[in-house]
Amino acid sequence: MQNSQGTIIRTAEFNIVLRTYILLYVGFFLTISVIGIPLAIVWFCGVGQWYSRHYFAKLECVLTDKNLSFKKGIIVQFEKTIPLENIQDMSFIEGPLLRHFNLCVLKIETAGGSAHNAANHMSLVGVKDAQSFRLQVLEQRTLLKDHQGSHQDQSVLYDIKESLLRIEGLLAKK
């Protein structure tokens, strides 16, 4: 399948339990603040269920032959595309609440990334079969780098060939 970013290799699926996790996660932080307690009541009485359902429906992560693209958000929509050659590491994060829901965070760090620079990483929460998805992204990154390396090698060989032909031409004139 083809899209504007390249050939689609895999579309990540998200665990439906993520909806409940979002509802409880936001509700927890509203509840622990004094100001948030009235908001927590509204959150748990329906707004949170609506929000988590729509947020889940908008989640999208696509692996193509060249990029990893991610979309999320309801009110503020967020879209990020990371070229595969920029991916440095992919790690898993699991906390007690995530483990309870059998979820994990797949954190993708890119070239030049640091712990304090959000522009150089992306986090995916609740990807089904995250281990397999991670392996497929890393394999595609390796394939892309190998292909680019062989293309660069061919380009260098072509340049050397052209230089040798010019040298032969100059020697033949003498």
DSSP output for 105-143: EEEEEETT--TT-GGGEEEEESBTTHHHHHHHHHHHHHH
- Can you give the pLDDT at residue 3? 60
pLDDT digits (tens, 9 = 90+) for 103-123: 999 999 987 655 555 556 888
Supply φ then ψ for residue 153, to 5 degrees. Answer: -60, -45
Give the bridge partners for 68, in sequence order: 63, 82
CA proximity to 52, closest of 78, 81, 27, 89: 27
| Confidence check: pLDDT of 58 > 70 | yes
Res 111: pLDDT:
79
SS3 144: helix
Measure the CA–CA gap between 153 and 145, rounded to whole angstroms.
12
Output the six-digit token pair for 100: 């309870």
Q: What is the mean pLDDT of residues 84-90?
A: 90
- Percent of the chain, pLDDT > 70? 87
pTM, two decimal places? 0.72
pLDDT at 158: 72
The H or E element spanning position 8 is: strand 6-11
Q: What average pLDDT does this structure show over 147-162?
A: 68
Identify the band that residue 169 occupies on the pLDDT scale cut at 50, 70 and 90.
confident
Q: What pLDDT, on a 0 to 100 scale, did the predictor assign at position 105?
A: 93
Q: How confident is the model at residue 71 (pLDDT cuts 50, 70, 90)?
A: very high
The number of angstroms, rounded, from the C-alpha of 91 to the middle of its chain's C-alpha atoms is 11
Residue-by-residue DSSP string for 71-102: EE-SSS-EEEEEEGGGEEEEEEE--HHHHHTT
pLDDT tens column, 32-50:
988 888 999 999 999 999 9
Which single residue is written with the structure tokens 């009485």? 45
Length of the chain: 174
